[in-house]
Amino acid sequence: MTDAKPIIVLKHPQLGENIGMVARAMLNFGLTELRLVKPREEWPNDKALSTASGAIEVIENTKVYETLNEAVHDVHMVYGTTARSRDMVNIIHSPATAAHDIQEQHNTGKKTAIVFGAERTGLENDDIALCNALITYPTNPDFSSLNLAQAVLLMSYELMRSENEASDIKLKKGNNTPFATRAEFDNFLNRLYDDLEDKGFFKTEKMKPVMKQNIESMLVRMQMTEQELNTLHGIIAAMKRY
């Protein structure tokens, strides 16, 4: 694994605001290199700075080019993003498979770029032809239009996600307090059963084992900390008070 990241290229972005929001979305997931091909508005751009909400390093290092070819001159693998499928034969990735592919490219020392077209029109066929592979998003077919920053956000997210996947732990606990041991849990459970016995909770002897199973099965799911177990002891003690 390398810590290389793809370059984000915006071709003919229309609004400075959108460029700023793209910069923010990139930095949210650790991407920093942005290139623009002939933005419609002047660059540097105050509106971009403002919507970047602090992603200043991205905005300040943004480079501007005349053509898409120039913008990717030092890149080995160019990925184009597109909503519609095209007639041209091309490798078509989902954001997820693209993220994996990009990582593999980086692992072999290649430099990558992901290209996004203008807000309304997307990439043109000429741009598509330049791309080594395409990326399409699995959106709702009846309502598929993502805005530019959102499209960049999802790709940036996928890249960080695929980096993290190896260390993705399914369930984590939110704090450091120690968990109750089984013995501590059993201790609570037995005291509870004794109390319930005293209070006539178990209506018949025959039902008792099943009722106990149900109680245990429900309580064990809590995966309690020691502190929480103490709270439960406290609740039971309080209820018995008169």
- Closest separation in Å from C-beta 203 to a second copy: 10
Structural contact between residues 27 and 38, judged by C-beta atoms closer than 8 angstroms: no
Residues in the chain: 242
Element (H, E) at 188: helix 182-198
Closest to a second copy by CB, 15 vs 27, is 27
Binder among 161, 191, 208, 233 for a second copy (CB under 8 A): 161
Which residue, 111 or 161, has its beta carbon nearer to a second copy?
A: 161
Could you tell me which residues are beta bridge partners of residue 81?
135
Token representation of residue 68: 């898409």
Binding status of residue 178 toward a second copy by CB under 8 A = no
Q: Coil, strand, or helix at residue 123?
A: coil
- The single residue among 40, 63, 182, 240 that binds a second copy, judged by CB under 8 A, is 240
Buried (b) or exposed (e) across 176-197, using 16+ Cβ within 10 A?
Answer: eeeebeeebbeebbeebbeebe
**Residues 115 and 65 sit within 8 Å (Cβ to Cβ):** no
Q: Compare residues 1 and 171 and give the one whose CB is closer to a second copy.
A: 171
- Nearest residue (CB) to a second copy, 201 versus 209: 201
d(CA 135, CA 78): 10
Q: How far is the CB of 60 from a second copy (least distance, A)?
A: 14
Sole residue written with tokens 């071709």: 11
Answer yes or no whether residue 213 interacts with a second copy by CB under 8 A. Answer: no
How many alpha carbons fall within 13 Å on the CB side of residue 122? Answer: 15
Instruction: Name which of 27 and 37 has its Cβ closer to a second copy.
Output: 27
Contact track, a second copy, 130-159, x by CB under 8 A: ----x---xxx--xxxx--xx--xx--x--
Binding mask 54-93 for a second copy (x = CB under 8 A): xx-----------------------------xxxxxxxxx
| Cβ nearer to a second copy, comparing 71 with 128 | 128
Residue 30 interacting with a second copy (CB under 8 A): yes
